[in-house]
Chain A
């Protein structure tokens, strides 16, 4: 790391800490010094966040209790302060208590978790279905159906790591990861792709997830949509994203040398905008096909050159 980078990092860190509180609300990207799960952009991700915070606070409370008791014991019952050890080693009531109470706490956590799991597994009534295929090292997206109709004319999207990130990530590239910026100025090093997946806002989108070579993992934290992409197996996940925007994720299953270089980028458009985009894609595909067909006609056999 060059020294200018270092200075920028230190200045940036302070600014980022301030920005942390502001950006936690929107939280589409990870932010420097981020310390907690994003709340995300779907009802499910919100509920998971609530469950996560509930579990976290239960753990903090138990930690305070257990470590607190231990700390008090360490202060009060020191031999150096003349403490004399008692000899008891049983207390049936206490032992039953700390067996039963944790069970109750765990049931309190497991019950909502079970209901939420059931909801996450219910991918019926999706308005749109997209097939996601993991390859070493890119994502492929095929639109299967939308609004009850099969989608046939939209070309497949191949989603590779963006060229600027790819250049910078090479060993001894000399390009600082800090210089890789999205048009809006945020750093998108290793989190930007050539062609993102585009989906409509406000409707349930089902992702059929599989892989072609090794196991990958498709995950957008803000959607809480996450499944292993496994060759020979079709998994499904779903998300209903209300807020349009660009959402980022990464492959989370070790898939070889470029595991860190296959980000997931999903662009969520308002429904009308999405419909227009889809139509444009279909037209472009039709035009492209027409153009290709047209080009073939006048083509003459090229004489082979020695």
Chain B
């Protein structure tokens, strides 16, 4: 099997550079492009964050005008969400799903090429707004009208960029669904699939369901700004709160779009290094499905203070708290997977454990802010900022980095530096807490979010947070070094299994994986699957 694959692997290398990287229909090359793009955007969005933390280092305005600060916070959010977290998960899906289900490639390779190549153009449009008269959009990543409508012409570019990102992610999701439903090797039932495939299957449906909702919201905004409609203009009978409802009907499932694939990744890594099957595989699948469903009926918890009727407040409080139950199941299952295992702490396992702890902290603050009366004291403060950075940086980003360290030897065929990758972990996990833990205190003390300047009472924790921020930002440069070294300079060959107890079809392929993953469908041997045993 593998020799055939390798023969084809060599055959494929007659492509020119341009053909390979620009006209590619290969899931691995496109996956690489996605990952490189999101890596680049991580540093773009990260540099905005560094500027934000630099201005917030001490009270008073030192570096920039307040309006530019607002441009930075808005673009930081948009770039990190649409340019880093989402594309990197799609990149991982591109690389891993065909290899995990025994397919030669994605089901729709040309669509795959299109869905990636939309992204660079979308981000050129988005980032070009910085150089336009009136500057970049500065109403936050949530783009609430009427404030956003005060922005310059650049908001048209932002809206078109969002349309493009939406199209890109919808096409990507269609491709993932088509691949998983059609290209599984014979005998690989849905309930034998790795958790990563399950998490992406469900996530894809979320993407298809809610991206058009966002497109609708920003299109109404476009019409209000340029074509004289009044969807959100209270002065002409419109309703600014309607935007928030529509936006968060997209926005809450979006939150899970950015965390469900992370759940999949962690469910892959933990059993490998615990040398024990994933605890409660079926429960994990149901929990993800359950979270995905609930994500559609909780959106107004982002709006507890807009003046909803009492009944709505109570309903959204209950539905939001319900999400803690399946999420709790997932965390308990990971911990129980580790219980009575035979643990070793290679780099991916460190990031997975970091994920479990940091994501749980973010989850705890989520439960606290689900309580309506308490949320009245938290809403709009740094407590919220701390919460979603714990789940998005400590959660989503940690899982992505963990996934890179888990599968990089499979991709490149080389092992990376254990020392530097572990240093990267320890440096990141300490600094991320120095960065975000104090923000919870700032929120409790009443510091509003999205402000460039603050009372001196908030100065000390802000300085601590900024130091953590610069430290965390600098730590990510280690990742660049580790990846470049691994891909181009590492002499240590990776075995096909890579990790002693790694099970699943991707580990039956040689490292580096051949250009076309499985040209002949593999014969499924349940004992070689990560989740072969579902009988009970």
Residues of A that sit less than 8 Å from B by CB: 1, 9, 13, 16, 29-38, 44-45, 47-48, 51-52, 55-56, 58-59, 62-63, 66-67, 69-70, 73-74, 77-80, 83-91, 94-95, 98-99, 102-103, 106, 109-110, 113-114, 116-118, 120-121, 168-173, 176-178, 187-191, 213-215, 217, 219, 221, 224, 226-228, 230-233, 235-236, 249-261
Across the interface, which residues of A come within 8 angstroms of B381, CB to CB?
Answer: 252
With A187-B456, A232-B235, A260-B454 as known contacts, state yes or no: A62 contacts B364, CB within 8 Å. Answer: yes
Q: Which of B277, B313, B365 contacts A117 (CB 8 A)?
A: B313
**Residue of A at shortest CB range from B368?**
A55
Q: A215-B146, A254-B147 are in contact. Are A106 and B360 (CB under 8 A)?
A: no
- Residue B376 at the chain A interface, CB threshold 8 Å: yes
Chain B CB within 10 Å, residue with most, of A36, A169, A230: A230
A113 to B374, CA, bound (A): 8
**8 closest Cβ pairs, A-B complex:** A232-B234, A252-B380, A260-B451, A59-B364, A235-B307, A34-B445, A85-B342, A30-B457
Nearest-Cβ distance from residue B372 to partner chain A, whole angstroms? 5
Query: Which residue of B306, B339, B376, B455 contacts A120 across the interface (Cβ within 8 Å)?
Result: B376
User: Is the beta-carbon distance between A259 and B58 smaller than 8 angstroms?
Assistant: no
On whether the beta carbons of B372 and A117 are closer than 8 Å, the reply is yes
Complex Cα gap A250–B331 (Å):
37
Point out which of B318, B331, B372, B452 has the most chain A C-beta atoms below 10 A from its C-beta.
B372
B275's contact among A48, A85, A168, A226, by CB below 8 Å, is which? Answer: A85
Write out the residue numbers on chain B whose beta carbons fall within 8 Å of the beta carbon of A84: 342
Q: Decide if B187 is an interface residue (CB 8 Å cutoff).
A: no
20 pairs from A and B in contact (CB 8 Å cutoff)? A9-B459, A9-B460, A30-B458, A32-B460, A55-B368, A56-B368, A70-B357, A79-B343, A83-B343, A89-B276, A89-B278, A89-B281, A102-B324, A117-B310, A177-B453, A177-B456, A217-B448, A233-B239, A235-B306, A249-B446
B371→A109 contact, CB < 8 A = yes
- Return the chain B residue nearest A73 by Cβ: B338
The 8 A CB mask of B92-127 against A (1 = contact, 0 = none) is 000000000000000000000000000000000000
* Contact residues in B for A231 (Cβ distance below 8 Å): 146, 234-235, 240
Of all chain B residues, which has the CB nearest A213? B146
Residues of A within 8 A of B356 (CB): 70
Known contacts A63-B360, A63-B361, A190-B454: A37-B444 contact under CB 8 Å: yes
Contact surface of B with A, Cβ cutoff 8 Å: 58-62, 64-67, 70, 138-140, 144, 146-147, 150, 234-235, 238-241, 274-281, 283, 305-307, 310, 313-314, 317-318, 321-322, 324-325, 328-329, 331-332, 335-345, 353, 356-357, 360-361, 364-365, 367-368, 371-374, 376-377, 379-381, 441, 444-461, 533, 536
Partner of A74, one of B67, B337, B338: B338
Query: Contact between B147 and A260 (Cβ–Cβ < 8 Å)?
Result: no
CB nearest to B445 among chain A residues: A34
Q: A1-B58, A63-B364, A228-B307 are in contact. Are A95 and B146 (CB under 8 A)?
A: no
> Which of A47, A116, A169, A215 lies in contact with B147, CB distance below 8 A?
A215
Contact of A37 among B66, B67, B278, B377 (CB under 8 A): B377
Contact indicator A121/B310 (Cβ below 8 Å): yes
In the assembled complex, the CB of B395 is this many whole angstroms from the nearest CB of chain A, namely 15
Given A34-B445, A63-B360, A254:B450 Cβ within 8 A? yes
Query: Contact between B536 and A260 (Cβ–Cβ < 8 Å)?
Result: no
Residues from chain A with a CB closer than 8 A to the CB of B275 are 79, 85
Q: Are A233 and B241 in contact (CB under 8 A)?
A: yes
Which of A78, A213, A215 has the most C-beta atoms of chain B within 10 angstroms of its own C-beta?
Answer: A215
A59→B367 contact, CB < 8 A: yes
Contact partner, A35, options B277, B317, B444, B454, Cβ 8 Å: B444
A190 engages B150 (CB within 8 Å): no
- Which residue of chain A has the shortest Cβ distance to B341 in the bound complex? A85
Residues from chain B with Cβ under 8 Å of A74 in the complex: 338, 343, 345, 353
A232–B239 touching, CB < 8 Å: yes
Contacting residue for A102 out of B325, B338, B353, B533, CB 8 A: B325
B279 touching A254 by the CB < 8 A rule? Answer: no
A178-B457 contact given A169-B60, A254-B140, CB 8 Å threshold: no
Structural contact, A221 and B377, CB atoms closer than 8 A:
yes
A73 near B343: Cβ-Cβ < 8 Å: yes
Nearest-neighbour CB distance to chain B for A107, whole angstroms, equals 9
Q: Is the CB of B335 within 8 A of A31?
A: no
Contact A250 B448 (CB under 8 A): yes
Q: Are B376 and A110 in contact, CB atoms less than 8 angstroms apart? A: no
Q: Are A89 and B279 interface neighbours, CB within 8 A?
A: yes
Give chain A residues whose Cβ lies under 8 Å from the Cβ of B140.
254
Q: How far is the CA of A87 from the CA of B340 in the complex (A)?
A: 9
Chain B residues, CB < 8 A from A173:
60-61
- Known A73-B341, A235-B307; contact A48-B373, beta-carbon cutoff 8 A: yes
Out of B61, B280, B314, B340, name the residue touching A171 (CB < 8 Å).
B61
Note all chain A residues with C-beta closer than 8 A to B280.
Answer: 89-90, 95
The answer for the CA separation of A255 and B240 in the assembled complex, in Å, is: 13
Minimal beta-carbon separation of A139 from chain B (angstroms): 14
CA distance A205 to B39 in the complex (A): 53
Whose C-beta in chain B lies nearest to the C-beta of A116? B373
Pick the residue among B318, B379, B441 that contacts A226 (CB under 8 A): B379
On whether the beta carbons of B380 and A219 are closer than 8 Å, the reply is yes
Residues of chain B contacted by A176 (CB below 8 angstroms)? 60
B65 contacts which chain A residues (CB < 8 A)?
A: 171, 257
Q: Are B307 and A259 in contact (CB under 8 A)?
A: no
Is there contact, CB below 8 Å, between B371 and A187?
no
Instruction: With both chains docked as a complex, state the minimum distance between the C-beta of B268 and any C-beta of chain A, in angstroms.
Output: 15
A206 to chain B, nearest CB (A): 14
Residues of A within 8 A of B325 (CB): 99, 102-103, 106
Task: Known contacts A63-B364, A188-B455; decide if A230 and B447 are in contact (CB<8 Å).
Answer: no
